[in-house]
Amino acid sequence: MNPDLLVDNPRPTVAAPALRTKAELRAALEPARRRGLAIGLVPTMGYLHEGHLSLIRAARAGCDLVVMSLFVNPTQFGLGEDLDRYPRDEERDLRLAAEAGADLVFAPPVSEVYAPDASTAVEVTGPLTSVLDGDPARRGPEHFRGVTTVVAKLFNLVGPDVAYFGQKDAQQAVVIRRMVRDLDFPVRIEVLPTVREDDGLAMSSRNAYLEPADRERATALSRALAAAEREAHNGSLAAGLDAARRELAAAAIEPEYLEARDAETLEPVAELADRPVLVAVAARVGAARLIDNVLIQSAAQRPHT
């Protein structure tokens, strides 16, 4: 592929070219960089769904060149997690990525990303990575260290002007924003709303693990969050969490956590005040570990109707 063609010619419509090496990626991006074009990056682990595609479309609308990365990052999976069975379909991903507007897909093998003796990590410390999914009893801070290390590497490799993430992984987005601020990465982070199935289930590659009966039960997560928001506005945040717990219990779902936290600092909050509150839930439903969340604004923050 002649990289100049990529910048000058229409975007690929059949399948986005998959670049396997860092050298290929750098060569493909060089002309765009030389011309000062705006580069957008959408990091993914593949098995694309509408959530991913919404990020690619936003990147297409906001940038001149759109790069999607497709990499199931082993360092963010703990022992006993689903690294080995994580769903994959690269051919379909390359087609969907191109249709949504990706110019390039960086899909390296693990050996291209991590040297066997790699000994450097990027870690956001403190409460952002030690609560919710970062609680050592759950995925733990190591999960986020894996995420921030690979995202920092992708930022260094791609040099994006804008990087796109989903609100579905709210804690991840908060952690990445903190990393970017603390380490002065010259990139703007955009976080886009959670895309849901018609019945409310947040789209996730891991939904593929759900058997039909569990797929039905899984709708309780979004119902629980909707109840939390409703009751938080009508009564109190505590009443909202109670209502959410009842919705989960009715579907025989025992959450790993269901918590209300400041949307930026992730400090616990007891009441709605003048800052957005994140109500986040994680639960095992059948063979899948699912997460979801809702951002609740206080009455003062909501636009008047």
The residues binding ligand AMP (CB under 6 A) are 44-45, 51-52, 54-55, 165-166, 168-169, 192, 194-195, 202-205
The least distance separating ligand AMP from the CB of residue 194, rounded to whole angstroms, comes to 4
Half-sphere exposure of 57 (CA within 13 A, CB side): 13
Alpha-carbon gap, residue 103 to 120, rounded angstroms: 30
The least distance separating ligand AMP from the CB of residue 300, rounded to whole angstroms, comes to 27
52, 143, 233, 304: the active-site residue: 52
Three-class SS state of 238:
helix
The least distance separating ligand AMP from the CB of residue 89, rounded to whole angstroms, comes to 13
For residue 41, give the nearest of 29, 23, 27, 24 by alpha carbon. Answer: 29
The least distance separating ligand AMP from the CB of residue 135, rounded to whole angstroms, comes to 19
Closest to ligand AMP by CB, 89 or 242: 89
Decide if 52 is catalytic: yes
The least distance separating ligand AMP from the CB of residue 195, rounded to whole angstroms, comes to 4
CB of 96 within 8 A of CB of 48? yes
Strands 65-70, 104-106: pairing is: parallel
Alpha-carbon gap, residue 194 to 64, rounded angstroms: 24
Closest to ligand AMP by CB, 6 or 279: 279
Closest to ligand AMP by CB, 204 or 272: 204
CB of 225 within 8 A of CB of 281? yes
DSSP sequence for 175-226:
HHHHHHHHHT-S-EEEEEPPPB-TTSPBP-GGGGG--HHHHHHTHHHHHHHH
Closest to ligand AMP by CB, 171 or 245: 171
Closest to ligand AMP by CB, 77 or 165: 165
Catalytic residues: 52
